[in-house]
Amino acid sequence: MKLACCSSNSVMGSNEMCLLLGATGVGKTLLLKRLQKITSHGSSNLEETPPTLPTVGTNLTDLKLKRKRLTVRELGGCMGPIWPSYFTDCSSVIFMVDSSNITQISSSCIQLLSVLSAEPLRAASVLILFNKRDVPCTMSLIEMKSLFRMDDIIASATQPITTLELSARSGQGLQEVLSWLDSTTTK
């Protein structure tokens, strides 16, 4: 049975689709809640961290950006084996990594390589977010890129790839994510 694809006829009309992927516990749901708050309320007051639970299934969130409307589909990390069922018709992918969890690095790298090699995502723009920059034991961006061999991945990928650091909890990097979404999802 084929699961629903990335086309969306949401409340806002037909939107472009962005997939939000990553292992369990990397901060995808918090990122989505923060982006939704900023785009719907224009609020940059992110002092209070909203409660989150691990996503089982998917979350669909519509974002009204400066130049367009976009639907972000968050897929739970535990759904990794069926992520490819959602790859059709996506214009962009955000792949999140917990930069404070060294034990998750190798599995995240394998998941990323699988996503990048998927035929339906061959032309999708990709943003790799290294989250949890606010945690004291976080690796530096240079260390993360080295462990992931980002130079090799970028050189061999068919997609345009951008990497950013982020703290979904504190809000550091959220405006850069919104700018990336607004600039790269134009068809």
Say if strands 92-98 and 69-75 run parallel, antiparallel, or are unpaired.
unpaired
46: closest CA among 64, 60, 33?
A: 33
Distance CA 54, CA 160 (A): 29
- Is 26 within any annotated ligand binding site? yes
- Is 27 within any annotated ligand binding site? yes
Residue 68 in contact with residue 183, Cβ under 8 Å?
A: no
- Is 24 within any annotated ligand binding site? yes
- Is 29 within any annotated ligand binding site? yes
- Is 22 within any annotated ligand binding site? yes
- Taken in order 119, 120, 121, 123, the sign of the CA dihedral is positive
- Is 55 within any annotated ligand binding site? yes
Residue 6 in contact with residue 73, Cβ under 8 Å?
A: yes
- Is 151 within any annotated ligand binding site? no
- Is 25 within any annotated ligand binding site? yes
Listed in sequence order, the residues at least 6 apart from 27 whose beta carbon sits closer than 8 Å to its beta carbon are 96, 98, 131, 132, 166, 168, 169
- Is 134 within any annotated ligand binding site? yes
Bind-site residues for Mg(2+): 29, 55
For the annotated binding site for GTP, the residues are 22-29, 77, 131-134
Report the binding-site residues.
Answer: 22-29, 55, 77, 131-134
